[in-house]
Chain A
């Protein structure tokens, strides 16, 4: 019986080699890969998210955990070929057009994928139409948009309008964020959710899709 909490701990510490070794051992001892992910890797990532939100962890710590997670998922990939990596929902995410700040968006994408969402990251400087096309094509449950400039914040509202026009608005939940964005602003443009930081983005998205 593998101890998944040790995997979570190794990931929390950003120790890639240890996370990989423990994941291999767990797999070798016959553990269910889905459980390794849920109780090991995702549990570890959740802890990292909380520490990031509370100011105990910083970007380098988050990046180390993400690196460990990626390596461990590669170990599990063959075992997951039949079932695929279990996901609780699909998220299309990007930084809006005209905005080149992508650090915060990347943090959010990392935490979401680390917590069981399937994330399609469109990168930065993403045109409004691209968001709409991708939401449609990927049948996304959630669209996440990031804007760090006040010049680019209104673009998020325009994408929401575009979703309405394309008849997609009711099929996707929209969450927004970025330093100048507030809950009030999110309400004002008609978004469904807002999170102040990457750690908090996870519960917000879970709640939106009832998971």
Chain B
């Protein structure tokens, strides 16, 4: 940082603040607080009176609950997709959409070989995909002049967890690596098509979860299978992108940094200082606040401490590390914004 700036730093709008942070641009008075993944929780649901499963399946309900992240909590972003199953539902998996106390889940894994992969011609018209596109349009209309709107679509690796089943897919890493590549190749167009549709609908940036996390596969596997696919995928997505991989990932951040994402959304268990070092300024870091230790089980002071630690470490935008636990207290979420408002 420059030792001296003349006078006051500009106070950016939430949207500009977030986009500047995401794209590695100028810093205003304070860091942005963002939620690349869901901040829906029971208290928030009760406050706005919009419930699950409607908020997964009805565009207006989805937009309204998502907007509460800005209206009630004060985040600089609005991200309307709460589940990780929208693509799975569009690709033939049976999905149980849950309720206020239970997040949705994929019940069946119908794909047995890469040859089984069928991408419907009307992918963008499938209800679970269209609902998000419509919610993004509604939000763009209402908040586009102030707040950053985020889209979200699963990457090909996570899509395989759902359609093939986690274990049947992961064993192929050793059993038949060519099949892994064939699957990723087959699903990559799904991610590209939905990401671009969300950008057209009005998203400022798109979050791409692709859970090749340290508890499941090695950094070597990440480099071998994910990196080349992400490279090609990103070349075809026409707007800012944020990778989300929760869990232990410090060992693969150097690879992530070279993939071409604008942001990487990471967990607190990857020490933020080390994460910043590993990213080497090549990708912005988002998130960094522990969902369980701080947001769920901690006090506002605990959240504040982690938030300030992230800011001091040089993380670019702070927020929960992943979709928050449904019983997270609102006062803990508000502590994130309070810490951001103190400035750099």
Smallest CB separation, B295 vs chain A (Å)? 10
- B218:A63 contact, CB within 8 angstroms: no
- B221:A67 contact, CB within 8 angstroms: no
Among A14, A63, A67, A150, contact of B327 (Cβ-Cβ < 8 Å): A150
- A59:B325 contact, CB within 8 angstroms: no
B203-241 CB mask vs A (1 if < 8 Å, else 0) is: 000000000000111100100000000000000000000
B138 at the interface (CB under 8 A from A): no
Smallest CB separation, A110 vs chain B (Å)? 10
Among A14, A64, A180, contact of B292 (Cβ-Cβ < 8 Å): A180
B105 at the interface (CB under 8 A from A): yes
B175 at the interface (CB under 8 A from A): yes
- B101:A151 contact, CB within 8 angstroms: yes
Closest A-chain residue to B85, C-beta based?
A: A100
A42 at the interface (CB under 8 A from B): no
What are the residues of chain A within 8 A of B215 when measuring CB–CB?
Answer: 59, 179
Closest B-chain residue to A14, C-beta based?
A: B174
What are the residues of chain A within 8 A of B292 when measuring CB–CB?
Answer: 150, 180
- A150:B325 contact, CB within 8 angstroms: yes
Complex Cα–Cα for A200 and B269 (A): 21
User: Which interface class (under 10, 10 to 19, 20 to 34, 35 or more) fits A?
Assistant: 10 to 19
- A60:B221 contact, CB within 8 angstroms: yes
User: Which interface class (under 10, 10 to 19, 20 to 34, 35 or more) fits B?
Assistant: 20 to 34
- A58:B171 contact, CB within 8 angstroms: no
Instruction: Knowing A59-B216, A59-B217, A100-B105 are in contact, say whether A64-B171 is a contact too (CB < 8 A).
Output: yes
A24 at the interface (CB under 8 A from B): no
Closest B-chain residue to A97, C-beta based?
A: B102
- B101:A63 contact, CB within 8 angstroms: no
Complex Cα–Cα for A59 and B221 (A): 11
A98 at the interface (CB under 8 A from B): yes
Chain B interfacial positions (CB closer than 8 Å to A): 101-103, 105-106, 166-167, 170-175, 215-218, 221, 292, 296-297, 325-327
Q: Name 16 extra pairs, CB < 8 A, besides A63-B167, A67-B171, A151-B102.
A: A14-B174, A58-B216, A58-B217, A58-B221, A60-B173, A60-B221, A61-B174, A63-B171, A63-B174, A64-B174, A64-B175, A150-B292, A150-B296, A150-B297, A151-B327, A180-B292
Chain A interfacial positions (CB closer than 8 Å to B): 14, 58-61, 63-64, 67, 98, 100, 103, 106, 125, 149-151, 179-180
Q: Could you name 10 residue pairs across A and B whose Cβ atoms are closer than 8 Å? A: A14-B174, A58-B217, A58-B221, A60-B171, A60-B174, A98-B101, A149-B325, A151-B101, A151-B102, A180-B292
